[in-house]
Amino acid sequence: MKKSCLLILVSIAVTVFSAGAVAAQTIDKSSVQVRLQVHKGYNGDPETWSWTPVLRFRVNGPISPGSAFAVEYNSPAKTWKFDCQTDEYGAGWLGARDCGMNPPDNQAVTYTGPVDFKINFRNELEGKNATLFSGKFKVDKFHEGVVDLPKFKNNFIYYVNYDWALPIAYVYDEWVYNWEYPGKTMVPALTNSHLMAAFWFRGTNKSVIYSKYAAYLYFNGQMVAEAVPESAVCEVLNQPESNQDSPNAYCRSVFTFNKAILWDKQPGIMEAGFYYEMYKHPGEYEIKVLQNGKLARTAKFAFGADYKIADNGIVKQNSLGTLRVVVPAQIIGDQDGQWDRSAYKTDAFFGSPLTGFVGP
């Protein structure tokens, strides 16, 4: 094996297994997704709408046989406790979902405001119980349909406010993406790896999905690669259960820079238009994102000569449990509508503000 190949594999191994990178039975905080189910009724009144929570997340393994997960929700109006369904999605992690899926209407509430929750672990075989993550989310609402008829005055749609996520972007190696998602090619099969990035967007249900997005990679002031999907590729989509194209939808959109090669184990003829071997060009890079032809996001990161995106320490300092690198995203323009630009300072990752992170 060539020296460069050995360096790449060693680099990957160090990234995954170094102390504190990904610990067993911890929550990948970037994977936690909370949404609200709207119930068309409350206390026998079909025109007073209400809600219940449902949550999904990933647990970093290894996971012992017999392990089970549940979520407790606590609000001034009601408390809930729901078991989670689990699926072994990837090597080294487990996905938990449907923590509160489709409960009866008598479990629903009309409360708005902060809701505390805990992700709990138990293993009857080993006699273990633990709380793996505690956090809180904020419930907001908006009126749907006819406003000026008393009969429909309580037709409210409830949703989780994700304003805190907008200034948070991720940059990562393609092999990290393959490790995170089921059915993807695992690391040993990759002969090269591309740069990937993810940004949050806010707007109406239609705008966050169907806006035209294009991301461009810059080095030393020159554009070196691009990622131009036809529309948003939402790895996380949190939209209110509404029949109208209302605001307050959030999408974490993924961009793949297919021609930005971080490393290549089997280099061949370099095709025109490819930005090969970023490790030969260490330094600061910048990503600029257009939304509907207008500049909407920028983010900067550093890349080293060791085949890795430079670790700025934010993930480890805050025990986020992800292999991605978190960087600040600058929000430009008004396509996100009105949002709370200071929410990340108190609400980031469900009430766990980020040490070392400087937002917009």
Using 50, 70 and 90 to split pLDDT, how confident is the model at 260?
confident
- How far apart, in whole angstroms, are the C-alpha atoms of residue 276 and residue 284? 16
C-alpha of 245 from chain center:
23
- Give the residue among 205, 222, 201 at the shortest CA–CA distance from 214: 201
The enclosing H or E element of 360 equals none
Residue with tokens 């949550």: 55
- pLDDT exceeds 80 at position 5: no
- How far apart, in whole angstroms, are the C-alpha atoms of residue 38 and residue 144? 12
Mean pLDDT for the chain? 87
C-alpha of 114 from chain center:
20
Mean pLDDT to the nearest integer, 110-139: 96
Q: What are the structural domains, with CATH classification, of the chain?
A: 3-21+165-351 (no CATH), 26-160 (2.60.40)
- pLDDT exceeds 60 at position 285: yes
Mean pLDDT to the nearest integer, 289-298: 97
Using 50, 70 and 90 to split pLDDT, how confident is the model at 178?
confident
Using 50, 70 and 90 to split pLDDT, how confident is the model at 185?
very low
Q: According to the model, what pLDDT value does residue 177 have?
A: 85
- How far apart, in whole angstroms, are the C-alpha atoms of residue 98 and residue 107? 16
Q: According to the model, what pLDDT value does residue 268 have?
A: 57
Q: According to the model, what pLDDT value does residue 91 have?
A: 67
- How far apart, in whole angstroms, are the C-alpha atoms of residue 38 and residue 242? 9
Query: Which SS3 state, helix, strand or coil, does residue 210 take?
Result: helix
Contact assessment for residue 57 and residue 48, using Cβ atoms and an 8 Å cutoff: no
Residue with tokens 């449902």: 54
Contact assessment for residue 296 and residue 287, using Cβ atoms and an 8 Å cutoff: no
pTM of structure: 0.89
Write the CB contacts of 56 (distance below 8 Å, at least 6 apart in sequence). Answer: 31, 32, 33, 84, 95, 96, 97, 98, 99
